[in-house]
Amino acid sequence: MQSLGEFSSLWPALPEGVLALGALLLLMLGAVRGERAGDLITALSVGLLVLAALIVESLPDERIIIFSGGFVFDGFARFVKSASFIASAVAIILGRTYFREIKVVHFEYPILVVLASVGMGMMISANDLLAVYVGLELMSLSLYVIAAIDRDNARSSEAGLKYFVLGALSSGLLLYGASLVYGFTGTTAFEGIAAAVTQGARPPLGLVFGLVFLIAGFAFKVSAVPFHMWTPDVYQGAPTPVAAFFSAAPKFAAMALFTRVMIGAFPQAIAAWQQVVVFIAIASMLLGAFAAIGQSNIKRLLAYSSIANMGFALVGLASATSAGIEGVLVYMLIYLFMTLGVFACVLAMRGPQGMIENVEDLAGLSKTNPMMAFILAMMMFSLIGVPPLAGFFGKYLVFLAAIEAKLYALSIIGVLSSAVGAYYYLRIIKIMYFDEVKQSLGPVPSEVKLVLGVSGAFVVLFALYPGPLYSAASAAAKSLF
C-alpha cells in the first residue's frame, strides 16, 4: 500500500511520463514498420501531445513538489506546459505535407518532437539546478537531431552542426554557473539557494559570477544577444517546419525556465541579475530591429524578428514583479500564435520549382491569394504592435510593468526599437499589396490552411475577449511569488 501511495503522489509528472512512454512505443512501431508507419506515427504523436496537455489541465490547482524537491507543479507550470505541448503538436502537423514533398519521410521527426517536449516539461517544472540541466539537455539533444534531419541537404546538416557546437558551449556555461552557485550556497535546490541569499545582504562575488554564467546559458536557449549567433543560420538551414518548432515551443519553455530560476532561486538577488537581464533585453531588441532590415530571405528575417521578440519578453522579466511575469506569459503565448501563423505562410510559399523563401517572391500576393495576404499582413501588424491586434496587448503589458518598476530607459528603448522593426514588417506588406505579381503560388495544404485560419483569427479577434488569458496568466505569475 505504501508503494501505491508513493505512486499516487507522482501524478504531477504524469504528462511527461505519458510522453516518454509513448515516444518509446512509437519508436518501436517505426523500427518494425519503417517509413510505412510515417502517417500513423505523426497522428499518434499529435494525439500524445494533446493528451499530455489535457492531463496538465486536469491536475489539481495547487503547488505540488515531488522527486525530493526537484520537480514542482503549480499554476505557472500548468500555463506554460499546456501551450508548449499544443505548439509542439502544431509543429508536427505543419511538417506532414512538407516532408513528403521534399521526399524526406522520416518517422523519427514526430518522435523527436515528443521527446523534446518531455525535456520542455521537465524544464518548466524544474525546482533544482540538476533538474534544470537534465530537462535542458533532453530537449536540446532532440533539437540538434531535428535541425539536421534533412540529411541530404548541406544547409540542414550545417545548421545541425552549428546548433550542436554552440549548444554544447552553452551547456558548459550553464554547468559552470551551477557549480559556482552550489559552491557558494551548498545546495542546488531553488529554495535552498534563495535562503542562502539573505534579504538586503550583498551576495558573494562568486555567486554573482555563477548567476551570470547561468543567465548566459539561458540566453542561448532563448536566442538573446549576445548568444544569438546560431539563430539565423539554423532557421535558414533547417527545414521550415523545424524552424517553426524552434521559434515556438522550445522558446516558450526556455523563457519559462529563465523566469522560474530568476524568481524562484534568486528573489533576494534581484539587483545582481536585473541589470544583466536589462542589458540583454536592450541588446536583443536593438540587434533584432536593425539586423533584419537588410534580410532578403524570409526565414533569416524571422530569425532576427525572434531575437527582437525575446528582448521584448525579457523586458517583463527585468521588472521582477508579478505584473511583469504576467506580461511575459501573455506576450509569449501571443508570440506562439503569431510565429506559427507566419511560418504557416512561409510553408504555403510554393512556386513552380518548389519551396521559395525570398521576401520578393511574395510580390503581388494580394492579387493571387488575397486571404493569405490578409492573414500575413495582420501577423506583420501584430508583430509591430498595432492596436487592436493581439501583439499590441503583449507589448503593452511588458512595457507597463517596466514603467511601474521605474525602468524608464528600458521602456523607451523598447518602443523605439519596435518602431525601427516596423520597417521590415511594413516592407513585406508593401511587397504583397503594391508590387507586381512575379509568380503565382501553388495550392496550400489543408493543415497549413487550418493553422493559418486559427492563428489569424486569434490575432485579429483577441481584443474582443482577452479576459480569460489575462486571468490565467495573472494566476500563473502569482504562483511563482
* 3-state DSSP of the chain: CHHHHHHHCCHHHHHHHHHHHHHHHHHHHHHHHHHHHHHHHHHHHHHHHHHHHHHHHHCCCCCEEECCCCEEECHHHHHHHHHHHHHHHHHHHHHHHHHHHCCCCCCHHHHHHHHHHHHHHHHHCECEHHHHHHHHHHHHHHHHHHHCCCCCCHHHHHHHHHHHHHHHHHHHHHHHHHHHHHHHHCCCEHHHHHHHCCCCCCCCHHHHHHHHHHHHHHHHHCCCCCCCCCHHHHHHHCCHHHHHHHHCHHHHHHHHHHHHHHHHHCCCCHHHHHHHHHHHHHHHHHHHHHHCCCCCEHHHHHHHHHHHHHHHHHHHHHHCCHHHHHHHHHHHHHHHHHHHHHHHHHHCCEECCEECCEHHHHCCHHHHCHHHHHHHHHHHHHHHCCCCCHHHHHHHHHHHHHHHCCCHHHHHHHHHHHHHHHHHHHHHHHHHHHCCCCCCCCCCCHHHHHHHHHHHHHHHHHHHCCHHHHHHHHHHHHCCC
What is the full per-residue pLDDT of the chain (481 aa) written as tens digits? Answer: 334 444 457 788 899 999 999 999 998 988 888 777 778 888 999 999 999 999 999 988 888 888 888 899 998 999 999 999 999 999 999 888 888 777 776 788 899 999 999 999 999 999 999 999 999 999 999 999 888 888 778 888 888 888 888 888 888 999 999 999 999 888 888 888 888 887 556 778 888 899 999 999 999 989 898 888 888 888 888 888 899 999 999 999 999 999 999 998 888 888 889 999 999 999 999 999 998 888 888 889 999 999 999 999 999 999 989 999 999 999 999 999 999 999 998 888 877 666 777 888 888 888 888 888 899 999 999 999 888 999 999 999 999 999 998 999 999 999 999 999 899 899 999 988 888 887 777 787 888 889 999 999 999 999 898 889 999 999 999 988 8
Strand-pair partners of 66: 71
What is the CA angle 147-45-349, rounded to 5?
50
User: At which residue does the C-alpha cell 536593425 appear?
Assistant: 290
Cell of 40: 500513423
Q: Within its chain, how far is the Cα of 381 from the centroid?
A: 20
**In sequence order, which residues have a C-beta less than 8 Å from that of residue 140 and are 6 or more positions away?**
119, 167, 171, 221
CA-CA-CA-CA dihedral for 171, 173, 174, 176, to nearest 10: 120
**Residue 254 has what pLDDT?**
93
User: At which residue does the C-alpha cell 548541406 appear?
Assistant: 154
What whole-number distance in Å separates Cα of residue 205 and Cα of residue 141? 33
What whole-number distance in Å separates Cα of residue 138 and Cα of residue 342? 27
**Residue 51 has what pLDDT?**
94
Residue 283 contacts residue 225 (beta carbons within 8 Å): yes
**Residue 4 has what pLDDT?**
40
pTM higher than 0.85, yes or no? Answer: yes
Q: Domain locations in the chain? A: 269-481
What whole-number distance in Å separates Cα of residue 117 and Cα of residue 127? 18
What whole-number distance in Å separates Cα of residue 259 and Cα of residue 218? 10
**Residue 6 has what pLDDT?**
47
What whole-number distance in Å separates Cα of residue 411 and Cα of residue 428? 26
**Residue 392 has what pLDDT?**
92
For the CA atoms of the chain, what is the radius of gyration? 21
**In sequence order, which residues have a C-beta less than 8 Å from that of residue 366 and are 6 or more positions away?**
373, 374, 432, 433
Residue 139 contacts residue 152 (beta carbons within 8 Å): no
**Nearest Cα residue to 346 out of 193, 238, 460:** 238
Residue 439 contacts residue 371 (beta carbons within 8 Å): no
User: At which residue does the C-alpha cell 495573472 appear?
Assistant: 474
Where residue 297 falls (left for φ over 0; alpha for ψ -120 to 50; beta otherwise) is beta
**Residue 8 has what pLDDT?**
52
